[in-house]
Amino acid sequence: MLGRVVMGALLVGAAACEPGAAPKAHEAVATPGDSTVVPRAGEASGKRLYYVPVYSHIYFRDTVSAVNLAVTLSIRNTDPQHGLTLSRVDYYDTRGRPLRAYLASPRRLAPLETAEYLVHRDDTTGGSGANFLVELAADSTVTEPVVEAVMIGFSGNLATSFVTHARLLQRP
């Protein structure tokens, strides 16, 4: 019986990943046949704002026992020919209060370059509902960047790691 359940889950998962599936509401609209960010007519920058959920700790057993997590925010320029400009990388706590601005000035990412921003494992100020806002711009048509966070932590012999993916909040 367990084998049938696992096989059924695999089939459902495979069907959900079929090419040509409709984009989710939070995904950027892509040019047919590729995943590109295209600045709209009259807009030079193609500016985008992303929301990235992160966790400085997670609870287990009850709401008192928690595992602290180190957070690595990764912003990957996936375009092999064109650069991107990061104009904002801001960290917020569970209540939506700003905690830290990681950029003092815009940062240029070369083709295929990755920028990483870290929250130390012992920094729990963000809470279990922390997040980043990331704003970036492209001067030309570029492939959609990958914006995600990796969390990792341990307590005794319990190790936890997982990834969260950005959601596009704003297009020009």
pLDDT number for residue 99: 98
pLDDT score of 45:
53
Q: DSSP labels for 88-125?
A: EEEEE-TTS-EEEE--SS-EEE-TT-EEEEEE-TT--T
123 within domain boundaries:
yes
For residues 95-99, give the mean pLDDT.
98
pLDDT of 157: 87
Quote the CA–CA distance of 54 and 151 in Å, as a whole number.
7
pLDDT tens, 137-166?
998 889 999 999 999 998 888 788 999 999
Tell me whether residue 20 is in a domain: no
Between 83 and 62, name the one with better pLDDT.
Answer: 83
Residue 8 lies in a domain: no
Element (H, E) at 4: helix 2-16
Domains: count for the chain: 1
Which residue range is the domain that position 33 belongs to?
A: 26-170
Which element (helix H / strand E) includes 133? Answer: strand 131-137
Q: What percent of the chain has pLDDT over 70?
A: 72
Q: How far is CA 125 from the centre of its chain?
A: 20
pTM above 0.95, yes or no: no
Give the mean pLDDT of 4-23.
36
CATH number at residue 92: 2.60.40
The answer to the question of residue 43 being in a domain is yes
